[in-house]
Chains A and B, each alone.
Chain A
């Protein structure tokens, strides 16, 4: 057997292994999506059917007629607004940390350590505070908490991206008579555009997928889709059609967003530690 054929066999074996692994990892997602298209009889048929006999959207239609689909909108509002606020506050803070070394390493380390506090320890006193303020089940309350929760991430990521921007550009803008604010708006933001975009998407995904805070702090008015999914759980009578349809409604936007984010994935999920 010559080297060439050995090389080919190796490649084919790897290709088979790669395909098998990918199928295994995608199967649960496939199953979730398929259930959402099945009729109730098909969902509760034994042995389980791997394909729906025809692709129906009845399970989705029910979510819209019941009004449950509004929770996806709530998720969008909460994640969207908190992302915008966190991006703005976080980026200007990151600029200060990166360019002026404000607070030195101590401040930067304190900020990232805030990211590591377990949510369950924080959510309890926050809940009691919100009860006192009347903020439970309000957009204000949830958006503020998500903003705060995502700020350390934004600051940390944007600090990294801003450090990558050459200083010379900003200095020449200052010499040309720009104020510091103008430098941020006209030089830093455009230069860090890709980083801003990537960080914003991840921030959005974190907020969109969040469950524990939403479980504690929302009731009916601002219940997010993650909370709504759990409302269908219950002993023997799991509403599988609703669980799957609601899950798909919440998951599909994320998949689409991430398809555009491949290049920034590694840096985004490693808190900027791996440039990827």
Chain B
């Protein structure tokens, strides 16, 4: 009786064990499948197409070797767009960081209505970047925008600056829009980081007579660095793919003066239909960014924090 029971249970038991073992894979398979579809397929496709010579007028799928890649090195507009991207990042990112940090300091201690202030300040972060761009194009309008009006009050005479057209003003204009939208992002993360700085260390430093800046660089900065690094990484990646705000404000103009790498790729792929060359450009972007992300991730260890 006992024997027959155990034999009856056995297969069921092992069947269950088998199910257990595969259960964890069963859970990840759908996600991996979807990610591969948009992760690996495009990569393979880009790789194949980038060695062909497909353009708007040419549909021949014969292989032309490295010609598209050779063209990358001679394409001045491409490298300029990359340079523009780097300029936007190099100016906007430190600005957002410093302003965000200053704001976080301002709201760190008790303040009447603190929660309401923070809730309001956060709003720009959740506005769609394309709406942000549209809003700023209304703000920047030379006649009907409030910005020139305010500057006019300060200057004491009428001002009609062409913010999105004048080559000297487009960079400040775009960076202003970016900084407006994303300083609150930095602010929110750095506020959380500052709130977690060990108070006893700060008190000890105060007793030792350390000044504000000394305390900041010796104690506060090292303590908030892990969060800061992640904020920089996230924003750096966002700025590298800058597209929406530009689409609303300048479309890369005047000329190609504010064209970023994302805009350039869009123009090549969807306006000039240089299919194969665009594939090479897209691969270049992926390779460049992967290298940067790989190095950055090694440093900040997103998974550990």
Contact = CB atoms under 8 A, between A and B. Distances in A.
Interface of A: 11, 14-15, 17-19, 21-22, 25-29, 31-32, 35, 43-48, 50, 89-90, 92-93, 95-97, 99-100, 102-103, 105, 107-109, 111-114, 116-122, 124-129, 144-145, 147-149, 151-152, 155, 180, 205, 208-212, 215-216, 226, 229-230, 233, 238, 240, 243-244, 247, 250-251, 254-255, 258-259, 262, 265-266, 269-271, 273-276
B107 interface: yes
Contact of B42 (A97, A112, A122): A122
The 10 nearest A-B residue pairs measured at CB: A209-B128, A125-B42, A96-B27, A93-B31, A100-B24, A121-B282, A148-B38, A125-B45, A120-B262, A92-B27
A105 B301 CA distance: 11
A11 B183 CA distance: 23
B225 interface: no
A128 B293 contact: no
**Chain B binding surface SS class:** helix
Contacts of B49: 125, 128
Contacts of A209: 126-131
B303 A109 contact: yes
Interface string B93-124: 00000000001001101011001011111111
B301 to A, nearest CB: 10
Contacts of A120: 241, 243, 261-262, 265-266, 282, 285
A21 B100 CA distance: 11
Interface centre among B27, B45, B189, B270 (most CB of A within 10 A): B27
Contact of A266 (B41, B180, B189): B189
Contacts of B197: none
Contact of A121 (B20, B111, B139, B286): B286
B141 to A, nearest CB: 8
Nearest to A90: B31
Nearest to B158: A47
Interface in B196-245: 227, 230-231, 234, 237, 240-241, 243-244
Given A266-B189, A270-B230, A121 B42 contact: yes
